[in-house]
Amino acid sequence: MTLREVVAGHRIVVSAGSGGVGKTTVAASLALWGSLQGRRTVVLTIDPAKRLATSLGLETLDSVPREIPAAVFGAQGLTPAGSLWAMMLDQKGAWDALVERHAPPEARARILENPFYQHLSQTFAGSQEYMAIEQLCLLAESGDYDLIVVDTPPTRHALDFLEAPQRLGDFLDKSVIKWFVKPYFNAGWSALRAVNRSVGFLLRRIEQATGISALAEISDFFTSMSGLFDNFQARIDKAYDVLRGAETAFVVVSSPEEQVLEDAEYLSTKMSELRMPLKGVVLNRVHHEFRPARRGRRGAEVGPEDVQEIAAVVERALGGRPGDAEELATNFADYQALARGESLRIEQFRAGLPRRVPVVTVPNFARDVHDLAALAAMHAHLFGGARAAA
C-alpha cells in the first residue's frame, strides 16, 4: 500500500498528530493533490498559518467552503482537473448552527443568548474537536465532494480529537443534566452542594472551566437545551460511524523528534483500540542524510572525525578560504549527525507500526509552506511511491 493509494481509495482523509508538526500543511497538500487528480475536493482547515489561509482564500472566518479560483491555480502554474474548496473551522458559528438545527424553535434564541452557552461553546475542552467532526459529518452528508480532507485542532494530545464526541456525550449525559434542571436550583447553591458532594464538585468544575458562576444561567441553559440533548447521542453515534467508516482514512503526521514520535506511536495504538485504524504516516521536516557510496569500511556515516578531510575538499572547491571551508565542513558534519539520529528514530518507529501502513518522509524545506506551488512541491515526497514499512 502507498499513501497515494490510501488517498485515492478514501473519500475522507483526516490529518492527525501533535501540535505544530505540519498537520494543516499536509491536509492542504493532500487536498490540492486530490483536486489536481480531478476530484471535487474540500479541505477543512483549523487555525491555518496566516499566509497559508491567504493563499487558500480564507481571509475571513466563515463556515462555508469557498472555491479556489482557477486564476489562483494558474498564477502558480497549476491546472486542476477537479476543484478545490477550502474552509476554516468557525467554532462558535458551528455551535450556533448546531443549536439552530437541533434545538426546538422556541428555545433557540434563549440558548444562543445565554451567557453560559456562549462561554461553553468557546471554551469547553474538546469543543473545537467536536465541532471539527460535526463539520466533517455535514460535509460528508452533503454528498457534494469526492474527497474531504480534515485538519485537526492544535491540541498537544491528538487523541483528544478521536475522543471528543464521546467526551461531549458524557458531559451532556442525562444523568448529569438532571441535576441542572430548574427545580434543583430553587434550593440555591449551598443547599444544592449539601445535597450531593459530587454535584458540588461538578459545579466547581464547571465554574472553573467556564468562569461563570451564575447558576441561573446554567440552569436555564440546560432547561432550554433539554430538547437538543435528545438528539445528541444519535449525533455522536453518527460522528463515530463516519470516523470508523470504510471510506475514512486517518493519516498521522509526525516530526522525527523523539517525543513527537512517541506521541505518534501512542496515537496509533489508541486508534486501533478505538477502531479508527491508522492508514498512513507522514514524517514531516525530516533532515536528509547524505550517504556517499564509496566510504566502504566505516559504512556511509559521516561524523566529526571526517571534518578535516571534508574541509580539505571544500577548500579546493572554493579555491582557498580555509576558514569558510572548515565552518562549512563542521556544519555539514553536524547536519549529518542530526539526520542520522532522525533516521535511527524513524527506523525504530516504523518497526512498531502495524504492517502495511505506508510511511512517507517530507524534507524540512528551507521556507515555510504557504502557497499552492509549495504545497504542490510536497507531492513528490507524499506520493512519490514510497513503499510500506516492511
Ligand X SMILES: Nc1ncnc2c1ncn2[C@@H]1O[C@H](COP(=O)(O)OP(=O)(O)O)[C@@H](O)[C@H]1O
From ligand X, Mg ion, none, interface partner of 38 (C-beta below 5 to 8 A by class) = none
Q: Which CB atom, from 17 or from 80, has the smaller least distance to ligand X?
A: 17
Q: Which CB atom, from 156 or from 288, has the smaller least distance to Mg ion?
A: 156
Residue of 2, 4, 19 whose CA lies nearest to 253: 19
The secondary structure of the chain, three-state, reads CCHHHHHHCCCEEEEECCCCCCHHHHHHHHHHHHHHCCCEEEEEECCCCHHHHHHCCCCCCCCCCEECCHHHHHHCCCCCCCEEEEEECCHHHHHHHHHHHHCCHHHHHHHHHCHHHHHHHHHCCCHHHHHHHHHHHHHHHHCCCCEEEEECCCCCCCHHHHHHHHHHHHHCCHHHHCCCCHHHHHCCHHHHHHHCHHHHHHHHHHHHHHCCCCHHHHHHHHHHHHHHHHHHHHHHHHHHHHHHCCCEEEEEEECCCHHHHHHHHHHHHHHHHCCCCEEEEEEEEECCCCCCCCCCCCCCCCCHHHHHHHHHHHHHHHCCCHHHHHHHHHHHHHHHHHHHHHHHHHHHHHHCCCCCCEEEEEECCCCCCCCHHHHHHCHHHHCCCCCECC
269 near ligand X, judged by CB under 6 A: no
365 near ligand X, judged by CB under 6 A: yes
368 near ligand X, judged by CB under 6 A: yes
From ligand X, Mg ion, none, interface partner of 369 (C-beta below 5 to 8 A by class) = ligand X
Q: Which CB atom, from 48 or from 169, has the smaller least distance to ligand X?
A: 48
What is the size of the binding site for Mg ion (CB under 5 A)?
A: 2
What is the size of the binding site for ligand X (CB under 6 A)?
A: 17
Q: How far apart are CA 171 and CA 375, in angstroms?
A: 39
From ligand X, Mg ion, none, interface partner of 20 (C-beta below 5 to 8 A by class) = ligand X
19 near ligand X, judged by CB under 6 A: yes
Q: What's the min distance (Å) between Cβ of 38 and ligand X?
A: 25
23 near ligand X, judged by CB under 6 A: yes
24 near Mg ion, judged by CB under 5 A: yes
Which 202-241 residues touch ligand X, going by CB under 6 A? none
Residues 6+ apart with CB under 8 A from 194: none
The interface mask with Mg ion, positions 305-334, x = CB under 5 A, is ------------------------------
Which 132-171 residues touch Mg ion, going by CB under 5 A? 154
Which 34-63 residues touch ligand X, going by CB under 6 A? 49
285 near ligand X, judged by CB under 6 A: yes
Applying CB under 5 A, which part among 1-9, 20-28, 213-221, 323-331 lies near Mg ion?
20-28
15 near Mg ion, judged by CB under 5 A: no
- Cβ neighbours around 263 below 10 Å, total: 22
Q: What's the min distance (Å) between Cβ of 372 and ligand X?
A: 13
Which 98-117 residues touch ligand X, going by CB under 6 A? none
Q: How far apart are CA 2 and CA 249, in angstroms?
A: 13
255 near ligand X, judged by CB under 6 A: no
Residue of 151, 137, 112 whose CA lies nearest to 30: 151
Q: Which CB atom, from 18 or from 248, has the smaller least distance to Mg ion?
A: 18
93 near ligand X, judged by CB under 6 A: no
- Which of 97, 364, 377, 379 is close enough to bind ligand X by CB under 6 A? 364
Q: What's the min distance (Å) between Cβ of 161 and Mg ion?
A: 12
20 near ligand X, judged by CB under 6 A: yes
- Which of 370, 371, 383, 389 is close enough to bind ligand X by CB under 6 A? 370
Closest residue by beta carbon to Mg ion: 24
Kindly list the residues in this chain that would bind Mg ion in the complex (CB under 5 A).
24, 154
Binding site for ligand X (CB under 6 A): 19-25, 49, 154, 284-285, 362, 364-365, 368-370
